[in-house]
Amino acid sequence: MARLIGGVGSSHVPAIGNALEQGLQTDPYWKPFFDGYKPVWNWMEDKKPDVAILVYNDHGLNFFLDTMPTFAIGAAAEYQNADEGWGLKPLDPFQGDPEFSWHLIDSLVHDEFDITMCQEMLVDHGFTVPMSLMWPNQDTRDQVKVIPLCVNVVQYPFPTAQRCLKLGEAIGKAVASFDKDLDVVILGTGGLSHQLDGERAGHTNREFDTEFLEKLKDEPEWLLKYSNYELAKIVGPQGVEMIMWLIMRGALGGNIRELSRNYHIPISNTAAGVILFENDAV
């Protein structure tokens, strides 16, 4: 059966993609950020997962304000990348796993999650930046099949933090019920605190971000006490993306270890973080 071997929470700021393209990993501005990913690179190289479920939000490439599904899962054999306006060089197509995707969709619908099924899907920087961060080498990245899971954190109303945590739990159940021999990793992306526009443009909240990271392993329910409206005030409207990390955390269950964590501020006016969990139950 399939095994969920671990999970990563990661920022997906488009400027990271430009830094990767320009080879700025050792630049003084970027080095503290990229150094935080070295344990993740080593872990991915050691574990060699077969499939990555990547939780992110679309930035207008597939969905816009007039049509915004709460949860959408890709069920395609291939996912093309296109630039949605940040000047990022499109990456090679990503290989999907339709059989596994349809299994996840079927299981989640039977667990009463209303999933939008996408048999064609473009992926933007919210997806490609984390893929490049997890697997900097193109050859290694090509060996990992992907399942995009797109969450609406763009157009209100958003799903609640509790709904995201429960979706993660349902994903963990769905992975465990798939009868193929696969090692699966789940990536929760976005955030951390940031506000891109308005009078508070550039707002970040180190104290809240740090507590969120400290609580994520053993007390992910800590975030549930805040409504999305409250979170928007505390971490900025775009900082609400951190609820997508709860999907990753919920999928992993209770028997996990935290292997590494890094927090760096700012990256393109965003508080950026990465955290790596390994599932001890497999």
Catalytic residue ranges = 125, 194
Q: Is the preceding peptide bond at 266 cis, omega within 30 degrees of 0? A: yes
Residue 241 near residue 153 (C-beta atoms within 8 A): yes
Nearest Cα to Cα of residue 280 among 254, 251, 246, 249? 254
Cα–Cα distance list, 118 to 121, 198, 245 (Å): 6, 33, 22
Residue 31 contacts by C-beta under 8 Å, 6 or more apart in sequence? 25
Nearest to 7 by CA among 223, 255, 272, 266: 255
